[in-house]
Amino acid sequence: MIVESAKRDHIGNMKGIAEREMSSGKIELVEGNELVYLSGAEMDLKTAPVIRKSLSDFAENGLYGYTVQDQRYNEAVRRWMAKTRSLKLSGEEIVVTTGTISAVNTAIKAFTAPGDGIVLQSPSYYRFDRAIRNQGRNVVYNPMICENGNYRIDFDHLAKCCSVPENRMLLICSPHNPTGRIFTRKELEIMTDLAQKNNMIIFCDEIFGEMIMDGYTFHSLLTVSKKGIIVSTSLGKCFNFTGVNQANLLICDQAVRAEFKVQQKKDHIGSIDPFFYNALCAAYTEAGYRWIREVCSLVKRNEELIRRFCAAKMPLIRPVPLQGGFILWMDMRGLGFDEEELQQFMERQANVIGDPGNEYGSCGRGFYRLQIAAQEKTIRQMLEQMKKAYERGGFGK
């Protein structure tokens, strides 16, 4: 099976539009360079062939009407979650929603009140922060500790955060965005214990949970506990369906599920996107699983290439080990740049577009995020252009 690149031109794709704008003069290219666009957690790849075939057949049928969560849909999710997360679910424990961020908003309204605090590890995905603030709640950061290029949770600080009565929810992301960390079972147990002792709801984003690098083990939070926990899963990241706002929540706690659904009914989500329904039923199969493993192999090769290249030719740039997902968190603090200088270095000198670390909060300063689910040719082009900028800056001496 071949992992194929996708074209972004003239299909309304956000990244394609941004890339076209930058290529048309917004970014002046250094002689010999081309624009390398690796921003956003969206692969440069076509989704799995089994999905494309299913959607082609569905589109040809021509009926795109109201679509519901039926037995076929539930069985596909149940089989997949058993295979990828060792979970045994009932159909009623699967709650369809209009995307993870939409679900975060619904959970915030259902289980917290204006002025309450929501705790999350930082650096953090900025849309989480935005959702919390938009609902009139307070973001409570639990900064992770970066030691020797690896991140770990500051549990003493987390315990203090969870002990504050006004902090009513813990938001976890594993594999973590943007650092690529997979939290161990022990870490998940400690986080769960702290939250439950303080009567906090836990919302756990596991949308990168299928994309695990060789040598690492992923544990769904629901294998630790089911009490007071909402887990979000989606085709968005693992099958490159970021433009389809649909996700599945796994809520085994009956009381939590009932309360969430009351708020969800107020928000009104409508029927399932019929294309998402058919994509999911095709994706959650052996063919879909094999495709994900091929993508993970590509991502791992790219990470190793970047790591070797940086160590040999740009030693002041240190990629953080990627455990899960396909976004690589680059530690560029060794260059000594402030945030504006770092962005200028990447965009204007290397002509590489990624995501500046400060978008993920103050803990992201000096870092840069790159999506590396791309063909090796693109990664090599990026590295050569970064190397030229590195040497022009006097760092290669």
CATH number at residue 356: 3.90.1150.10
Instruction: Report, as an integer, the average pLDDT of 297-310.
Output: 98
Same domain, yes or no, for 213 and 357?
no
pLDDT number for residue 4: 87
Number of domains in the chain: 2
Asked if pLDDT for residue 15 goes beyond 80, the answer is no
Same domain, yes or no, for 61 and 102?
yes
Note whether residue 99 is domain-resident. Answer: yes
Distance CA 320, CA 90 (A): 38
Q: Is 256 helix (H, G, I), strand (E, B) or coil?
A: helix
Question: What is the domain range of residue 237?
Answer: 50-285
Please provide the average confidence, as pLDDT, over all residues in the chain: 94
Same domain, yes or no, for 23 and 145?
no
Residue 341: both structure tokens together:
């200088």
Instruction: Report, as an integer, the average pLDDT of 106-115.
Output: 98
| Domain termination site, one of 285, 304, 324 | 285
pLDDT number for residue 25: 60
Is the CB of residue 107 less than 8 Å from the CB of residue 135? Answer: no
Note whether residue 9 is domain-resident. Answer: no
Note whether residue 256 is domain-resident. Answer: yes
Residue 288: both structure tokens together:
């879909």
Same domain, yes or no, for 129 and 199?
yes
Instruction: Report, as an integer, the average pLDDT of 5-21.
Output: 70
Q: What is the pLDDT of residues 335-349, one digit of tens each?
A: 999 999 999 999 999
Same domain, yes or no, for 300 and 164?
no
Same domain, yes or no, for 243 and 352?
no
Cis peptide before 123 (omega within 30 of 0): yes
Note whether residue 2 is domain-resident. Answer: no
**pLDDT band of 118, cuts 50, 70, 90:** very high
**pLDDT band of 238, cuts 50, 70, 90:** very high
pLDDT number for residue 23: 58
Note whether residue 7 is domain-resident. Answer: no
Instruction: Report, as an integer, the average pLDDT of 202-219.
Output: 97
Instruction: Report, as an integer, the average pLDDT of 213-226.
Output: 97
Note whether residue 23 is domain-resident. Answer: yes
Asked if pLDDT for residue 26 goes beyond 90, the answer is no
CA angle 62, 65, 69 (to 5 degrees): 120
Asked if pLDDT for residue 235 goes beyond 60, the answer is yes
Same domain, yes or no, for 32 and 130?
no
Same domain, yes or no, for 141 and 227?
yes
| Domain termination site, one of 266, 285, 304 | 285
Note whether residue 197 is domain-resident. Answer: yes
Q: What is the pLDDT of residues 122-180, one digit of tens each?
A: 999 999 999 999 999 999 999 999 998 899 999 999 999 999 999 999 999 999 999 99
Query: Dmax of the chain from CA atoms?
Result: 64
Q: What is the pTM of this model?
A: 0.95
Same domain, yes or no, for 158 and 126?
yes
pLDDT number for residue 28: 87
Residue of 175, 172, 250 lying closest to 212 (CA atoms) = 175
Same domain, yes or no, for 172 and 315?
no
**CATH classification of the domain holding 135:** 3.40.640.10
Same domain, yes or no, for 281 and 389?
no
